[in-house]
Amino acid sequence: MVKRVLAQGRTIRVRDIAMRIRQEVKFKVPAKLYRIGEIVQHTPFTRQTIHNYTTMGLIRESDWTEGGHRLYDESVFERLWRIQELRKTKTLSEIRDLFEQEVLSETMS
């Protein structure tokens, strides 16, 4: 049974009102940021490897905590997967060069 309410002289279904409210109210969902320890738990990489990849420029932190800890967004997982796959045929320096070329080609297009 669909409940109906009277609004400004006409009948509107309650479900329609709820849909309108959801469309009008927009919340910004904060991005999930991960500490190195969380990344280590969900990937085959060590804390030291994550740190090394960051200092080499293979991955980038998205933010820092007030205490100075690096925070990474969700894109780091895809990037680490790509690094893992590329490591089968390339050195870390070659991977870094490849990533730099990708960034340059994106900025030029």
The CATH number of the domain where 95 resides is what? Answer: 1.10.1660.10
The answer to whether residues 95 and 57 touch, using CB atoms and an 8 Å cutoff, is no
Provide the token pair at 13: 């279904």
Task: Confirm whether 95 is domain-assigned.
Answer: yes
Residue-wise pLDDT tens for the chain (109 aa)?
444 444 455 555 555 655 565 566 666 777 899 999 999 999 999 999 999 999 999 999 999 999 999 999 999 999 999 999 999 999 999 999 999 999 888 888 7
Task: Confirm whether 93 is domain-assigned.
Answer: yes
Using a cut of 0.85, tell me whether the model's pTM lies above it. Answer: no
d(CA 104, CA 98): 10
Domain that holds residue 81: 36-108
Task: Confirm whether 3 is domain-assigned.
Answer: no
The answer to whether residues 13 and 3 touch, using CB atoms and an 8 Å cutoff, is yes
**H-state helical runs in 3-91:** 14-24, 36-42, 47-56, 75-86
Task: Confirm whether 81 is domain-assigned.
Answer: yes
Q: Work out how many domains the chain is built from and give that number.
A: 1
Task: Confirm whether 49 is domain-assigned.
Answer: yes
